[in-house]
Amino acid sequence: MNIFEALRVAFAGLLANRLRSSLTMLGILIGVAAVILLVAVGNGASVQINNQIQGLGANVIFVYPANAKGAGGVSQGFGTSQSLTMADVDAINNRQQDQDVVAAIPIANSGGQITYQNQNYFAPTTGTTVDFPQVRDYQIAEGSFFTQDDVTAQHRVVVLGQTVVQNLFGANDPIGQTIKINRQSFRVIGVFATKGGSGFGSQDNVLVAPITAVWAYLSGGRGKGISQIVASASSAGTVSQAETEITTILLQRHQISDPSLADFQLQSQQDILTQANSIATALTLVLGAIAGISLVVGGIGIMNIMLVTVTERTREIGIRKAIGARWRDVLMQFLIEAMFLSGLGGALGIALGAALAVEAPHIPAIASSTFPPPVVSIPSVLLAFGVSVGIGLFFGIYPANRAARLHPIEALRHE
Amino acid sequence: MIRLEAVTKTYRMGRVEVQALRGIDLHIESGDFVAIMGASGSGKSTLMNIVGCLDVPTSGGYFLDGTDVARLDDDQLAIIRNRKIGFVFQSFNLIPRTTALHNVEMPLIYAGAPNRRPRALEALDAVGLANRADHQPTELSGGQQQRAAIARALVTDPAILLADEPTGNLDSGSSVEIMKLLVELNEQHARTIVLITHERDIAAFAKRTVELRDGLIVRDERRAA
């Protein structure tokens, strides 16, 4: 019996029980749609995280204080020591050789209440130096960034990200206006262009001021500490050399001979990307696995219905065997039927899952939230279709073999 | 053509062994028309299963068209059934929701034979059912269904036509029609026919009558020509 004939027979068998076939197919359809949709959601989150991290700048290196070690070496947690100083930044910027580091800037963050007239907002204020736009890859859209004079003279000037502008000023021009950060007046001198990225940790939700002004007016007398140093390498390819240079300079300055005892640690954009990707992959796998369970349930549905079908059609199997159907012929007939059910269910499930994933960002409730738009991946589509056909094969083989092994005499006697 | 030598068949029903056939010797020549008779429990169904290659004997030999079929496995038996035996059943056993033509085509499909459609149409024509080719079994009368079944049995040009109570589900008019068709196939086309029945007037259409009782042949008569 050829494949075409087997398909014809299988199709006729399915058409004979339309409702039952559709319901069985629905089980697989929902399973596959769930896999496609949830994996797309995971991928969407992954893409969004990647974009945000890439927004940090490709060549960026972050230097954090290492975990402070208490007596007996008990770690006190990330960033608990105040090991980095402005002198470290100057040392990196003023080094004589090794040109792989372009510039280094200090970062001193100060959280705070921002007010403008009757508008209220809450965002971190970053204190830094004039190289900030270059190192962090920010463009000025309006006005200008602060100058070395502003830093030296502790001028209370501030440059705003787009998110802050929208929340405080709406459509009004912020340049030249005075806002209050923790009740201290700062004059807005510039606005950054949109960097993209959304939701938590947006690159546009920033206020940047001279680090000296932040120390003087916002730190509450906590001195001239800096929470991190951000450096930029000359290109993506020189990031690791730049990291080595920074490490060497800082170890020397902090008089540490054993690198494993360093009181600071470095992280490049690539490191963050790798970590974030491994988390995103785990998230996608978990979502896919949850959806996979429904696929297995759908497969059991197919097996169940195939067993019923085989019992119902015992007599037909007997007739076919009497007129010459071999084990293989009967097996193929029922196997193709099961695979057709699961394959068609899978194809429809892919269509539904992909349609939901594509349409999801247009649903108002989702569009207005920070929920990442799902991204349907081609491998997940191929895998889901392959798995659904495979499920038909796996769950179909037992009922089909049961049919194929029926004894013709007993099958013919079956009422 | 058909030769059974000391064929026995023993079934095991739980702990009890039932000897359905106790030693059958039977020889059927090509072109013969044999009626196998017997009451229920006489072993005639078992004999028909063995002759039809649906089952194998417990002991003894069965030679069909020169092939020893007593020791074949299930798939080999399926091939023999497909090529050498045409079944006609009491309850027609057409495949439901499938046209008469497609039912008749079915053995050719399993044989992987070419020209299936014209051959199936030819077989339907031979039983006078060419104009019902596109009808499904539920759209045919009992007599017409049995004609379609006979066409299906003949389409592979088998060595024997094995008819198991072919008139059992038919009214007397249709019964006579079907028996006349079998006689015609035997006389004009030299078909070898083995007919299983418990009715004497149906057996009377055959050339030879073999009667079974308790798993043994008790009578073997040829009708005077």
Give the closest-approach CA distance of A336 to chain B in angstroms.
16
Cβ separation A324–B89 shorter than 8 A: no
pLDDT at A280: 86
Q: What is the mean pLDDT of residues A79-101?
A: 77
Alpha-carbon Rg for chain B in angstroms: 17
Cβ separation B107–A315 shorter than 8 A: no
Minimum Cα–Cα distance from A5: chain B residue = B109
pLDDT at A81: 57
pLDDT at A222: 66
Strands B160-164 and B85-88: parallel
- Return d(Cα B94, Cα B166) in angstroms, integer: 13
E strand intervals along chain B:
2-13, 16-28, 33-37, 59-64, 67-68, 85-88, 160-164, 192-197, 208-213, 216-222
Minimum Cα–Cα distance from A316: chain B residue = B95
Cβ separation B78–A412 shorter than 8 A: no
- The residue type found at A180 is K
C-alpha closest to that of B87 among B144, B151, B178: B151
8 Å CB contact between B25 and B5: yes
Cβ separation A326–B152 shorter than 8 A: no
- Backbone angles phi and psi of B4, in degrees to 5: -110, 130
Cβ separation A324–B81 shorter than 8 A: yes
Lowest mean pLDDT among A56-70, A375-389, B105-119, B201-215: A56-70
- Backbone angles phi and psi of A264, in degrees to 5: -145, 165
8 Å CB contact between A177 and A188: yes
* Mutation for testing the A interface, residue in B54, B94, B154 having most A CBs under 10 Å: B54
8 Å CB contact between A324 and B110: yes
A316 touches B at CB < 8 Å:
yes
Domain residue ranges of chain A, discontinuous segments joined by +? 3-53+275-413, 84-262
- Cβ neighbours of B155 in A, within 8 Å: none
- Cβ neighbours of A327 in B, within 8 Å: 74-75, 78
Cβ separation A316–B95 shorter than 8 A: yes
In b/e form, how buried is each residue of A259-287, taking b as 16+ CB within 10 angstroms?
eeeebbebebbbebbeebeeebeebbeeb
- Cβ neighbours of A408 in B, within 8 Å: 54
Residue B135, C-beta contacts closer than 8 angstroms, at least 6 positions apart: B99, B100, B144
Q: What is the mean pLDDT of residues A354-363?
A: 88
- Cβ neighbours of A322 in B, within 8 Å: 52, 54, 81, 87, 93
Band (pLDDT 50/70/90 cuts) for residue A240 is confident
Q: DSSP characters for A290-316?
A: HHHHHHHHHHHHHHHHHHHHHHHTHHH
B54 touches A at CB < 8 Å:
yes
Give the closest-approach CA distance of A386 to chain B in angstroms.
30
Minimum Cα–Cα distance from A314: chain B residue = B95
Cβ separation B93–A326 shorter than 8 A: no
pLDDT at A95: 76
Cβ separation B79–A324 shorter than 8 A: yes
Minimum Cα–Cα distance from B76: chain A residue = A326
- Return d(Cα A321, Cα A103) in angstroms, integer: 83
Q: What is the 3-state secondary structure (H, E, C) of A203-220?
A: CCCCEEEEHHHHHHHHCC
8 Å CB contact between B120 and B101: yes
Minimum Cα–Cα distance from A1: chain B residue = B110
- Return d(Cα A243, Cα B53) in angstroms, integer: 84
Question: Among residues of chain A, what percentage have pLDDT more than 90?
Answer: 37
Q: DSSP characters for A57-95?
A: -TTEEEEEEPPPB-GGG-B--TT-S----HHHHHHHHT-
Give the closest-approach CA distance of B85 to chain A in angstroms.
8
Averaged pLDDT score across all residues of chain A: 86
A327 touches B at CB < 8 Å:
yes
DSSP state of A234: S
B97 touches A at CB < 8 Å:
yes
Q: The tokens of A324 are what?
A: 């010459």
B74 touches A at CB < 8 Å:
yes
Cβ separation B112–A324 shorter than 8 A: no
Q: At what angle do helices A378-404 and A327-359 cross, to 10 degrees?
A: 150
pLDDT of A207 over the 90 cut? yes
Q: What is the mean pLDDT of residues A343-364?
A: 90
- Cβ neighbours of B49 in A, within 8 Å: 409
Of B49, B81, B112, the CB nearest to A323: B81
Band (pLDDT 50/70/90 cuts) for residue A67 is low
* Mutation for testing the A interface, residue in B76, B82, B91, B154 having most A CBs under 10 Å: B82
Burial of B183 (0-12, 13-18, 19+ CB in 10 A): middle
Residue B200, C-beta contacts closer than 8 angstroms, at least 6 positions apart: B37
* Each residue's pLDDT tens digit, A134-191: 888 888 999 999 999 999 999 999 999 988 998 899 888 999 999 999 889 999 999 9
What are B5's strand-pairing partners?
B61
Residue ranges of chain B with per-residue pLDDT less than 70: 225
Minimum Cα–Cα distance from B82: chain A residue = A324
Band (pLDDT 50/70/90 cuts) for residue A70 is very low
Give the closest-approach CA distance of A326 to chain B in angstroms.
5
pLDDT of A76 over the 70 cut? no
Minimum Cα–Cα distance from B110: chain A residue = A1
Cβ separation A324–B95 shorter than 8 A: no
pLDDT at A98: 64
pLDDT at A1: 61
pLDDT of A72 over the 80 cut? no
Band (pLDDT 50/70/90 cuts) for residue A97 is low
User: Which domains are seen in chain B, by residue range?
Assistant: 2-222 (3.40.50.300)
Give the closest-approach CA distance of A396 to chain B in angstroms.
21
* Each residue's pLDDT tens digit, A300-322: 999 999 999 999 999 999 999 99
